[in-house]
A and B are shown apart, each in its own frame.
Chain A
Amino acid sequence: QVQLVESGGGVVQPGRSLRLSCAASGFTLSSYGMHWVRQAPGKGLEWVAVIFYDESNEYYADSVKGRFTISRDNSKNTLYLQMNSLRAEDTAMYYCAKESLDSSGFYKTLDYWGQGTLVTVSS
């Protein structure tokens, strides 16, 4: 069965860096786009970034553009999020999510999610 397990969260000072990992199993990572979505404490979902299945493209939310980098190592079945110049407002639970296309091939969804890893940015 599909499983996504995030790791790498923790407490970090403002301005420092952190790298999150998402270990995938139960499916072929190289065949799917992958996303990071975050949720600040008590707040709603905020999409962060996507990387295409073939690594041909990456897209970012404006709030993290230029500071965060999404990447993947298909040989290790792992997705990453490198977070630099962290700010207090980056404090959140970070989820990785698998993208899926419906049978028509047009409609994308996030059909499987990990349980999240908590990042706290504080001095």
Chain B
Amino acid sequence: DIQMTQSPSSLSASVGDRVTITCRASQSISSYLNWYYQKPGKAPKLLIYAASSLQSGVPSRFSGSGSGTEFTLTISSLQPEDFATYYCQQSYRNVVTFGPGTKVDIK
């Protein structure tokens, strides 16, 4: 199975900060990479698909990049509602795998 890693595992940031999260795959997955966010007690929500395409309704301060084995999620100006845990997920194989998550909290 394809293993996914994320860094950092957690970060503290302030409203207005630029935040970058990295996701790495154990083998090349082309652009078959999605990003989700999850708030406590809630179901995950899709943010970005195909590494860099913004899901409908997601604010433009979110962006994704990368291909192959290394990917990034960037939040250009962190807003109060963005404090959450972020997960990457590969869809290259039918056996899907998620990264371990990156928790973004308030500094």
Contact = CB atoms under 8 A, between A and B. Distances in A.
A107 B32 contact: yes
B32 to A, nearest CB: 6
Label chain A's interface by main secondary structure: strand
A100 to B, nearest CB: 9
Interface size class of chain A, counting residues whose CB lies under 8 Å from the partner chain: 20 to 34
B53 A45 contact: no
Contacts of B42: 115
Given A35-B96, A45-B87, A102-B53, A110 B46 contact: yes
A44 B38 CA distance: 10
Contact of B98 (A46, A59, A108): A46
Contacts of A106: 50
Contact of B1 (A45, A57, A62, A115): A62
A45 B101 contact: yes
B44 A47 contact: no
B73 to A, nearest CB: 15
Interface in B56-107: 85, 87, 89, 91, 94-101
Interface of B: 1, 31-32, 34, 36, 38, 42-46, 49-50, 53, 55, 85, 87, 89, 91, 94-101
Interface of A: 35, 37, 44-47, 50, 57, 59-62, 95, 102, 104, 106-111, 113-116
